[in-house]
Structure 1
Amino acid sequence: MLAPYLQEGKVLQVMTLDRNLEEVLSKNIKHTEHGSYLALDPKLVEEIVQTVAKEVEQLVALNTQPVIMTSPNLRRHLRKLIEPSLPTVFVVSHAEIVDDINLQASGKVSLKNE
């Protein structure tokens, strides 16, 4: 699953989410009998997507595949949030990273007011 994103030496360049942004997202996951979903203000969604897009632009300019690493409980929700605007961004959770992969931070996504 990660093979297309690995660089030489099994290096995976990942963007991470600022801790405050992860907390905001986690607190807005709503659970129902039909499953869970992320309930965010549309303006916040737009800000998150635009911030991710700026980070992605920088990575693409460096010829690096955009990958965001987040917590397992946020992975699916973050993917659904950014997929309509940024379909090529791969979202992976910490739990999916095997021991022999070398992580390298390539950026951090944070909101302006943080």
Structure 2
Amino acid sequence: MAKLIHDRPKIISILGVVGFVFSAGQIIAISAPSIRDVASWYPILFGSIICLRFISIIGVWHMKKWGAELFTYVSLTKIIIQLLVDDFGLSAKIDCGFSIVFIITFLFYYKKMARGL
């Protein structure tokens, strides 16, 4: 039987499941009128960011460094864009809080993650 080189900590498993559920909810939010009213290009960018965050959570789930890096970059980009287009309501603040907790946790376990795909 093959042995896992990098065991996944329980907190990463919990945050991964929460991230999957949260990403599914955000995918539904892409078609919300509030997103479409910001700008004509915003739903496309918002959808791309949500997809990249979902992919990054899969990377973290597999204990890959690129997953933690991608999640950090995409989350910070999302926060900056939401601030620039003045789309920083209650849900964005909650998302920002979750993102910061995720980033801190992912970077705490960064050294235990593997390089490469």
Bigger fraction of residues in strand? 1
Structure with larger RCO (C-alpha < 8 A, sep 6+) = 1
Bigger fraction of residues in helix? 2
Structure 1 and Structure 2 fold alike (TM over 0.5): no
Question: If the length of structure 1 is used for normalisation, what is the TM-score?
Answer: 0.31
